[in-house]
Amino acid sequence: MGTVVDAANKGVNGSLPNEKKFKVVFVLGGPGSGKGTQCANIVEHFGFTHLSAGDLLRAEIKSGSENGTMIQNMIKEGKIVPSEVTVKLLQRAMQESDNDKFLIDGFPRNEENRAAFENVTGIVPEFVLFFDCSEEEMEKRLLSRNQGRDDDNIETIKKRFNVFVESSLPVIEYYGSKGKVQKIDACKPVEEVFAAVKAIFTQVHEKEVVG
């Protein structure tokens, strides 16, 4: 019987093909920092494809594939899905897309994810877009939004904050040490946040044109 990693490997051969060069931007921020809203704006204005690791895992489970069944079983058993499995799903989504520019949202969640992504795909992100928002503001937003989400209660919100700080901040610090973090003040109104985002993407695009 194959492992979940074996199943994930089916149809994906090693690292991404050399002839197709992908541009990847990691989008990180705590729960309620506004990542989803801003990713939609970036897609619309700058032509990126938005990939969410969580959405890809859910879609794989829903597909009923061998890989999806294994992922579902691991989640049911309270196990963490191996980083390599999530990376393979992201890799496949990139290979199957007609685009070569991707926003990867909410990933890497930790240092292990980060290392697996770079090792498996051979891709180093262009930069990390970090939505920096105070815990008070994120809490206020999550409690006020009416999306019927079971995880938007105060205890769960605090747990999610703690997980983000413990797991994701080391990733931001790692890329920060390489000069690859673009930090946005995400406490501001949506329009002001996007103005800052737009300035970063415009600047990066201009550098590429000049280069």
In the annotated binding site, the residues are: 32-37, 58, 79-81, 106-109, 113, 145, 149, 160, 188
Please tell me the total number of residues recorded for the chain in this structure.
Answer: 211
Cβ-contact 157, 55 below 8 angstroms: no
Binding site for ATP, by residue number, is: 32-37, 145, 188
Angle between helices 53-63 and 66-76 (to 10 degrees): 110
Q: Spell 61-91 as b/e; 16+ CB within 10 A means b.
A: beeeeebbebbbeeeeeeeebbbbbbbbbbb
Which CA distances in Å does 193 have to 77, 129, 173, 205? 39, 12, 22, 19
Cβ-contact 29, 137 below 8 angstroms: no
Binding site for CMP, by residue number, is: 113
| CB contact set of 97 (below 8 Å; sequence gap of 6+) | 49
* Count of CA atoms in the C-beta half-sphere (13 A) of 192: 6
Binding site for a ribonucleoside 5'-phosphate, by residue number, is: 58, 79-81, 106-109, 149, 160
Here the tokens at position 18 are: 């050399």
